[in-house]
Amino acid sequence: MIDFTSARLTMIENQLRTYDVLDYNTLEAMGAMPRELFVPADMSAFAYLDRALPIGNNRELMTPMVFGRLLQAMGVQKTDRVLDIAGGTGYSAAVFASMAADVIALEDDVELSAKADQNFKNLGLENVVVETGSISAGAKLGAPFNVIFINGAIETEPTLLLKQLADGGCLGCIQGSGRSGRAVIYRNNSGHFTAMRIFDGSAVSLKSFTKPLEFTF
């Protein structure tokens, strides 16, 4: 029998802290959330390893280190409204729900949306809702958001999502694929958007944010 509580503590001490994730709120939120509940049963033994985990339908949970460092950089506050993009089975949205006022988990895969919704109910989370729809279009009716998070790697600038950021808000994501991937934080300063690369990182590519094929003759 795996002691998931001990495994979670080991993740905090040996992965997050050693990767410069030192913010108390970030460590507390990730240390309290049972990551093993958000992966297939046959993957639960690997829930706290330093690796991305497949959750079905070509989606993955980010490695704890990449997610943790992005989470720290976004600086989620208790009064924030959060939009979690391509949240899969709901792990990241559940973490946000423990840190923010309310969360929308947007997913374009019906099966994953259903799993996320059930996970939220099992955990008794009342400040997060699941919406199924285009992940690149965002949740315009729920905007503006203080924080937007994209669970995966993107190749194109998330233009529509940036329009849904509140003034002073931020968007966190991985841009580029493979070794060219970079964690990027976008910020909205009175309608002027800046982008800052904060570390090298990778995540599964999201088809909705891939560049269109270019034909040459």
pLDDT band at 173 (very low <50, low <70, confident <90, very high): very high
As a whole number, mean pLDDT of residues 59-70 equals 96
Query: For residue 110, is it within any domain?
Result: yes
At residue 33, does pLDDT exceed 70? yes
Query: What pLDDT does 1 receive?
Result: 78
* The two structure tokens encoding residue 16: 């997050």
At residue 109, does pLDDT exceed 90? yes
What's the number of domains the chain is made of? Answer: 1
Strand stretches in the chain, DSSP E: 53-56, 59-61, 81-85, 102-107, 128-132, 145-154, 165-175, 182-189, 192-200
**Phi and psi angles of residue 177, each rounded to the nearest 5 degrees, phi first:** -120, 160
**CATH code, domain with 159:** 3.40.50.150
pLDDT band at 216 (very low <50, low <70, confident <90, very high): low
Query: How does DSSP classify residue 100?
Result: S
> What kind and span of H or E run contains 160?
helix 159-162
Across all residues in the chain, what is the average pLDDT? 94
Note the pLDDT tens digit of each residue in 190-208: 999 999 999 999 999 999 9
Place of tokens 């001990």: 6
As a whole number, mean pLDDT of residues 116-143 equals 96
At residue 217, does pLDDT exceed 90? no
pLDDT band at 68 (very low <50, low <70, confident <90, very high): very high
Give the C-alpha distances (Å, rounded to integers) separating 111 from 54, 56, 127: 14, 9, 21
* The two structure tokens encoding residue 179: 């070794």
Question: What's the CA gap between 165 and 189, in Å, rounded?
Answer: 10
Query: For residue 138, is it within any domain?
Result: yes
Query: For residue 217, is it within any domain?
Result: no
Query: What pLDDT does 32 receive?
Result: 97
Query: What pLDDT does 42 receive?
Result: 93
Query: For residue 214, is it within any domain?
Result: no
Question: What's the CA gap between 105 and 108, in Å, rounded?
Answer: 10
Query: For residue 215, is it within any domain?
Result: no
As a whole number, mean pLDDT of residues 34-48 equals 96
Cβ(158)–Cβ(134) under 8 Å? no
Query: What pLDDT does 12 receive?
Result: 97
Query: What pLDDT does 210 receive?
Result: 84
Query: What pLDDT does 177 receive?
Result: 80
Torsion of CA 60, 62, 64, 65, to 10 degrees: 150
* The two structure tokens encoding residue 175: 């841009």
> One-letter amino acid identity for 93?
A
As a whole number, mean pLDDT of residues 158-181 equals 93
| Residue 8: domain span | 4-209
* The two structure tokens encoding residue 166: 């509140």
Query: What pLDDT does 212 receive?
Result: 66
CB atoms within 10 A of CB 166: 15
At residue 116, does pLDDT exceed 90? yes
Query: For residue 216, is it within any domain?
Result: no
Query: How does DSSP classify residue 58?
Result: T
Query: For residue 155, is it within any domain?
Result: yes
At residue 186, does pLDDT exceed 70? yes
Q: Which among 83, 78, 84, 85 is positioned nearest to 100, based on CA atoms?
A: 78
Cβ(100)–Cβ(29) under 8 Å? no
